[in-house]
Amino acid sequence: MKKYIKSMAKKVFLLLYKIERTILPVSENVILFESNVGRNYTGNPKAIYEEMVRQGLDRQYKCCFILEDLQVEIPGNPIKVKRLRWKYFYYFAIAKIWVSDSRFPTFIVKRKGVTYIQTWHGTPLKKLALDMESIHMDGEKSIEDYKKAFVSNTSTWDYLISQNSFSTETFRRCFSFHKNMLEVGYPRNDSLIRDNSAAKIKEWKDLLGLPADKKILLYAPTWRDNEYYGENLYKFYSNIDYDRMRKELGGEYIMIVKYHYLVKDHIDWSCYADFIYKFDSAMDITSLYLVSDCLITDYSSVMFDYSILKRPMFFYAYDLENYKNNLRGFYFDFMKEVPGPVSRTTEELIYQIKNYEFSQYTEKYEIFLKKFNSYDDGKASERVVELLKNIMEDGK
């Protein structure tokens, strides 16, 4: 019965949405933001919005943030919009600008006079969209249908943000995107440059309840396309021996485990309370970058953002061959280009952490930074907000 009611409600909302976008004018002062399909308040949309708040523009324009959880705290003067409810469709019908880091549903229709700024959510290592050769994701029937739907979606984008020239070239091809590329760097990384100070790091550690007398290992892996529960909810599986990690490193380190926003596992970490601090997808990872002394990841785009801090990175790639050959495929030689040691087992990872020498990776790090962080200078949010203001003013 509940499922039937939800289905009927959606039909009613879609009918109202069709009427609204037909008869209501596009509002010249409404900007609609969404991060990670409404699952959190993070990333590039958050950074752009908060730059608007710094400039006082949240009082000049109606800034709407789409969320699954309306209890999320947002600074400034936002309008919180519950995803897939009446206001969600209403604001899509009238907003002049859309800002998102992921794709909107196919039933959302872009009107004439609307500008869509797609910020995306990372420089790609793993192949995307039209470059993919197979599909293993939940809900996708075939690679052909997936690609067709992707191109239909990207055709609605007016602007796409790029972090580097490598991304520009890749996005043009894999998204079949031929409109305006904003080569400005990632807004979400501005704070890695602006707030990378001892005072700010201490402030974040205190706020997050992290010990001041331990070094911090941030573990932030990506999701696995073929490991899911359904409804785009993915599993967390890392193959790390956490008992061994605590035994060997617990005297000097604590460990933060940060899930990808698509992962919805409820794992009981209480037995590691003295060693592991878990933060779910609702937590903006930028603050975790700042407080950590080093990063453990795999094939996640966190490597490109974290490298701005020039801190040690460890690549725990227990399923490298399967991921590269069967799930996604890579855009560059992972083993050759990543600026840190690659491990396949917990024992290898622990050894590498204990015996790490930054000087061994200095040359690879500099090449990596030049290739992937050439546009990140702490001013990306300002540049995007300037564009937003120009778009708004052009319509008046």
Asked whether the beta carbons of 349 and 314 are under 8 A apart, the reply is: yes
Judge if 154 and 276 occupy the same domain.
no
Same domain, 142 and 260: no
CA distance 297 to 143: 27
**R_g of the chain computed on alpha carbons:** 21
**pLDDT tens-digit series, residues 24-50:** 999 999 999 999 999 999 999 999 999
Strand order across the beta sheet in which 62-67 lies: 79-82, 62-67, 30-34, 97-100, 115-118, 159-162, 180-183
Query: What average pLDDT is seen over the chain?
Result: 93
Average pLDDT over residues 144-156: 94
Confidence of residue 136 (pLDDT cuts 50, 70, 90): confident
Same domain, 244 and 361: yes
**Pair (155, 224) in one structural domain:** no
Q: Is the confidence at residue 235, as pLDDT, over 80?
A: no
Let me know whether 279 and 360 are in one domain: yes
Q: Say yes or no to pLDDT of 396 above 60.
A: no
**Strand stretches in 127-183, DSSP E:** 159-162, 180-183
Expressed as residue numbers, the domain containing 354 is: 191-372
Please give the pLDDT value at position 331.
96
Task: Please tell me the pTM assigned to this model.
Answer: 0.94
User: What is the per-residue pLDDT across 78-116, written as a single tens digit (0 to 9) for each?
Assistant: 999 999 999 999 999 999 999 999 999 999 999 999 999
Of the pLDDT bands very low, low, confident and very high (cuts 50, 70, 90), residue 140 is: confident
Element (H, E) at 97: strand 97-100
**Which CATH number fits the domain that encloses residue 130?**
3.40.50.11820
Q: What pLDDT shows up at residue 238? A: 82
Burial 371-396 (b: 16+ CB within 10 A, else e): ebbebbebbbbbbbbebbeebbeeee
pLDDT tens-digit map of 333-342: 999 999 999 9
The verdict on 126 and 241 lying in the same domain is no
Q: Beta strand pairing status for 180-183 and 233-234?
A: unpaired
Number of domains in the chain: 2
Confidence of residue 395 (pLDDT cuts 50, 70, 90): low
Residues 141 and 277 in one domain: no
185 & 195 share domain: no
Same domain, yes or no: 134 and 44: yes
Tell me: do 136 and 197 sit in the same domain: no
Token pair 């293993």 in the structure block, residue: 136
Write out the two tokens for 76.
């400034």
Confidence of residue 347 (pLDDT cuts 50, 70, 90): very high
158 shares its domain with 79: yes
| Tens-place pLDDT, residues 255-275 | 999 987 776 667 787 899 999
- Whether residues 283 and 309 share a domain: the answer is yes
Phi, psi of 288 (to 5 degrees): -70, -35
Q: Given the structure tokens 């039933």, which residue do they identify? A: 107
- CB atoms under 10 Å from CB of 293, counted, come to 14
Q: What is the CATH number of the domain that holds 347?
A: 3.40.50.12580
**HSE-up of residue 115 (Cα within 13 Å, Cβ side):** 23
